[in-house]
Amino acid sequence: MRGELRTAAGKGVVPVLFGGEVHDGTLHLSEFVGTRTNHLKGLSIPPRSGMGGRVIAQGAPISVDDYGNAQSITHHYDRPVLGEGLRSILAVPVMVDGTSRAVLYAASRECHPLGDRTVDVMVAASRRLSTEFSIRDEVDRRLQLLRVAAVTSADGMATEEIRDVHAELRSVAQSVTDTDLQKKLRGLSKRLARLLTSSGEPEKSDVNLTPREIDVLSHVALGCTNTEAAQRLTLRPETVKAYLRSAMNKLDAHSRHEAVVTARKLGLLP
């Protein structure tokens, strides 16, 4: 969210941007760009209260050209908002599966309608955040499955589930633009890779596979063809073949199966 607000600020559409996530129906303002005071910091806004609360409830953007005199909203937060000097405000929800997960604001200290360009910038930011929230939700869902599977990891079905989650995490990591999240996902996949390693300790080796080589091997380990792996990783089959060949060379393997077996012994795959 901080990154999206800074990106929007760089477009110069408005002088003030802020926002926060929604937890248990309440919006918590946490990110600010261009503010001069701390009046808005840490503000909690329940549904249907103020602009943010109304946006949460209706799941659609709203704007006011003169906040202090607006009749369409409650005025529970006049003191912090007007104390910051804000007059024209646009509030845009971040929607995931029909639920408001966050709210982004764009504001000016002058009374005038915020233009279409401002709306376009904020709606685009909202959509990108919606995608990121969806990805995080899917990761959380799969990690919950992992926790269940890990309890019975000796069971064949649980083992396959862990391997499937590992491959999916590698795919998701390639689809996100957030580099911190990408590193986190790859870190989680490495932890998974060691879950099924005998005694939890992989064999020592100087083999150093690239993230893409591990991505490809993780799908080959599931029985995917080069074409299937390419579809899952959004790559060309020729590219997948090249990564697989490189990984096999590093692992001194003469077949796909041997490459997978060796990678598992080294703790590179679950």
Least-confidence region, from 2-11, 34-43, 146-155: 146-155
Statement to judge: residues 214 and 105 lie in one domain: no
For the cut 70, the answer to whether the pLDDT of residue 268 exceeds it is yes
Contacts (Cβ under 8 Å, ≥6 apart) of 197: 264, 265, 267, 270
Closest by alpha carbon to 114, among 51, 25, 194? 51
Statement to judge: residues 122 and 58 lie in one domain: yes
Q: Where does a domain end: 92, 126, 160?
A: 126
For the cut 60, the answer to whether the pLDDT of residue 155 exceeds it is no
Distance of alpha carbon 145 from the chain centroid: 19
What pLDDT is recorded for position 265? 86
For the cut 50, the answer to whether the pLDDT of residue 199 exceeds it is no
For the cut 70, the answer to whether the pLDDT of residue 152 exceeds it is no
Q: How far apart are the first and last CA of the chain?
A: 33
Average pLDDT for residues 166-189, to the nearest whole number? 82
Contacts (Cβ under 8 Å, ≥6 apart) of 266: 202, 203, 205, 207, 251
Statement to judge: residues 119 and 159 lie in one domain: no
Burial of 255 (C-beta count, 10 Å sphere; 0-12/13-18/19+): exposed
**pTM exceeding the 0.75 threshold for the entire prediction:** no
CATH of the domain at 44: 3.30.450.40
Residue 251 confidence class, pLDDT cut points 50, 70, 90: very high
- % of the chain residues with pLDDT over 90: 54
Burial of 17 (C-beta count, 10 Å sphere; 0-12/13-18/19+): buried
Domain range for 157: 152-265
Statement to judge: residues 9 and 122 lie in one domain: yes
Mean predicted lDDT score pLDDT of the chain = 87
What pLDDT is recorded for position 139? 78
* C-beta separation of 172 from 139 below 8 A: yes
Contacts (Cβ under 8 Å, ≥6 apart) of 250: 207, 208, 209, 213
Average pLDDT for residues 14-21, to the nearest whole number? 96
Q: Which residue has the higher pLDDT, 72 or 125?
A: 125
